[in-house]
Amino acid sequence: MRSLAKLLVGDRRNLAVVALAVLLAGALVASGHAALAALLFPLALLAGVGWLAAG
Amino acid sequence: MTAGSIFLASFLAAGVEWVEAFTIVLAVALGIGWRRAGGAALAALALLAALTAASGGVLGLWLDTVWLQAAIGALLLLFGVRWLAKAVARLAGRLPRHDEEVELARALSALERSERHAAWLVAFQGVLLEGLEVWLLVVALGFNEHRTLAAAAGALAALVVVAAAGALARAPLRRVPENAIKFTVGAMITAFGSFWTLEAMGGAGAWPWGEWSLPALAAFYLLGGLAVAAGLRRRAAATVEP
- Tens of pLDDT, residues A7-51: 667 788 999 999 999 999 999 999 999 899 999 999 999 999 999
Which helix (DSSP H) or strand (DSSP E) does residue B178 occupy? helix B178-202
Q: Find out whether B119 and B107 touch, Cβ atoms under 8 Å.
A: no
Cα B15 from chain centre: 14
Give residue limits of the domains in chain B: 3-240
**If you average pLDDT over every residue of chain B, what do you get?**
78
pLDDT tens digit string along B114-143?
677 778 888 888 888 888 878 877 776 666
> What pLDDT shows up at residue B241?
63
Contacts of A41 in chain B (CB under 8 A): 194, 197-198
A53 interaction partners in chain B (CB closer than 8 Å): 85-86, 88-89, 92, 94, 228-229, 232
Check B206 against A53: CB less than 8 A apart. no
Interface test with A, best of B112, B124, B201, B220 (most A CBs within 10 A): B201
Q: Given an 8 Å threshold on Cβ–Cβ distance, is B114 in contact with A6?
A: yes
Element (H, E) at B153: helix B148-168
How close does chain B come to A51, measured CA to CA in Å? Answer: 8
Residue-range domain boundaries for chain A: 2-54
Which of the residues B72, B75, B82 would you substitute to probe the A interface, choosing the one with the greatest number of A C-beta atoms within 10 Å?
A: B82
Partner-chain residue, chosen from A7, A38, A42, that has the shortest CB–CB distance to B118: A7
Is the distance from CB of A6 to CB of A33 less than 8 angstroms? no
Asked whether the predicted pLDDT for residue B64 surpasses 50, the reply is yes
Distance in angstroms (rounded) separating the CA atoms of residues B97 and B144: 55
- Distance in angstroms (rounded) separating the CA atoms of residues B9 and A51: 45
Cα separation, B42 vs B38, in Å, equals 6
